[in-house]
Amino acid sequence: MTTIGFIGAGEVGSQLARAFIAQGYEVVMANSRGPETLRALVAELGPAARAATAAGAAEAGDFVIIAAPLRLVDDLPVAELAGKIVLDTNNYMPYRDGHFAVVDSGEKTVHELRQEQLPHSKVAKAFSHIQAPRLFLSASPPGTPGRHALSVSSDHPEAVELVTRLYDELGFDTVDNSPLRESWRSGPGQPAWYAHAHQTREQLTANLARARWAGYPFRG
């Protein structure tokens, strides 16, 4: 049995947990307020789910999904995440997150910053350009004509390999948009982002290539 630790149990964390439980995974859910605030969600998710602190979820996970915005001063459980593959669903939304000067200037991507925050983990940008409800609505078996494709970015080939397998299990094709330096191509405001409702592997590949850097939108 594979256990997935979740740091972030909101819209995307809870929906990913539902999708992975349906595939036979166990999940350990964490948020910023503490496990006692996750009773209703864990009851809904059923016996394959439990709640923990963020450190507890990180420790329990064979791999971990961070489904929470990035903060520059962070409280992530760095030690418990060491040595693990960490999937990060985060999108930078300045109106919500504040402004990160190094990201606004194009010097770094938010996922490079996440990798810097977790120097002993293998970070992958994943599940970041699909709306939570579409994790079920857009899924289809391997080989389905026009199958919906998602991108992954990482500096670690084994993280890309894991995400590719997970996408396939959940019903999606993969386009590898590595390394993390290139991860802005699937970010807010880019063609791949606007086409999130449906894009095939070929369309996603073309949309990633069409990306142009003009700073992040949704500046607030």
Ligand X SMILES: NC(=O)c1ccc[n+]([C@@H]2O[C@H](COP(=O)([O-])OP(=O)(O)OC[C@H]3O[C@@H](n4cnc5c(N)ncnc54)[C@H](OP(=O)(O)O)[C@@H]3O)[C@@H](O)[C@H]2O)c1
CA distance 94 to 87: 21
**What is the nearest approach in angstroms of ligand X to the Cβ of residue 35?**
10
**What is the nearest approach in angstroms of ligand X to the Cβ of residue 91?**
4
Which lies closer to ligand X via its Cβ, residue 89 or residue 109? 89
Which lies closer to ligand X via its Cβ, residue 10 or residue 179? 10
> Considering just the CA atoms, what is the radius of gyration of the chain in Å?
16
**What is the nearest approach in angstroms of ligand X to the Cβ of residue 143?**
26
**What is the nearest approach in angstroms of ligand X to the Cβ of residue 145?**
25
**In the complex, residue closest to ligand X by CB:** 10
CA distance 88 to 204: 19
Residues within the interface to ligand X (CB under 6 A): 7-13, 30-33, 54, 67-69, 75, 89-91, 93, 128, 131-132
Which lies closer to ligand X via its Cβ, residue 131 or residue 157? 131
136 CA to centre of own chain: 16
**SS3 label, residue 3:** strand
**Span between the terminal Cα atoms of the chain, in Å:** 43
